[in-house]
Chains A and B, each alone.
Chain A
């Protein structure tokens, strides 16, 4: 590493500038959220008399309690099932190498770059036929399907790198595939499963398009979908809008801060198997 001091300092300065740019929107929102209700805030000024009560008002106005419950229900419906079936499929494709695995995997890869907009219209009519429009199932079921390409890709990548000898040994010991999967493979796959779980949680929480198309009632949507409705309702009351947006952001931030190490590692490893 023969970097000259000057280059190091410039590099640091760039990083600091990036950090400032990244944080400014949040700071500016906070400064607006603390102004007295009914005033017109300007860009960034620390309020002389910060109105922390605005957050309580926003909590009531946004019906946060119901939103949190709804988001959690959707996450509970999507994440465990997605992770389980993707892990099983990854095991089948990457470790058991079932006949035709390549073909099936190719089929999954097709969906990897698929914009959700490309299937949202037929999904609407499909949900209508199933009588599920405006229920949480209308978000849960399609999301599980839409996550499969990435989730199977992710888990298969893990399982192809597990030495087959492990499975061989378990087989010779006379354990069934089911036992092999649960007792040997799943414990080994724990890091891959954990990072997939975190990603799925965040994507579900932040899913917007499906929420606004398939569910009209904001209290049955994801957090992001609800935030869209909140903006429609309070868009002119900037103070409340900023307070509400920050509130709606908070759970995501908390989860991210708790798991940030695994999350960042997961993203880096997932995108570049180095």
Chain B
């Protein structure tokens, strides 16, 4: 009773009533959400221009809507970075603003810190695209730290592995040696091939009869893609059409460089990949997808904190 009597003071009443008013105010008159957008015409025009420059034609309405949504998300992330005052603690922003001040020829005779503070005072950080991108990057990192993507489980890896069997299939590999005939020697091709066959020259011995070929003469366990990089796609197409067999000569095979008489010493046929072979690739893809999803979820939640005007 004595405690209650002690608490029966006007200042205690004020505090209780103030708390009640504070609660009522929050319920009846919630603070308006900060607004993001709408984008001014000038920025929409700039988005169109950037798309046109990158793609070579104007964006469709749907593409434009997506570009605007993405830009509003960027504005929101940047707004959050400014609310958290991340620009005050970031070395990249610090260096960037110093560089801008130097470029503008401002703040001569000042220390770096003074120059940086003047740049902030002049609000240079607000108009700088690089600062904006950096701030967005930092906020994304913070969002991911708060909502880290789960590491891919064995079950997910197995599902991914099964779904991508066709894509992950190991290509065939060919071990080949060749005798090259440049365009000036096309007339000799038949006679040289006859000589190789009649005398039973080994590929190494036959190389003496080859024109110089810079990428080399022996290619071990090469996929069709790898062979394409050395010989061009026409060669690979012609070689495969000739249905080569192991330990046999094939050709002449035409490439963009000339003609080749090819000895195939080994053919490893195409096969399905094993999980261990593609595990790093699958893990990387799953992690990247989980990161994108976690980020998208976090951004979607952040949209609740703002009124986004399209």
A and B, one complex?
Answer: no
Which residues of B are in contact with A by a Cβ distance under 8 Å?
none
Interface residues of A (CB under 8 A from B): none
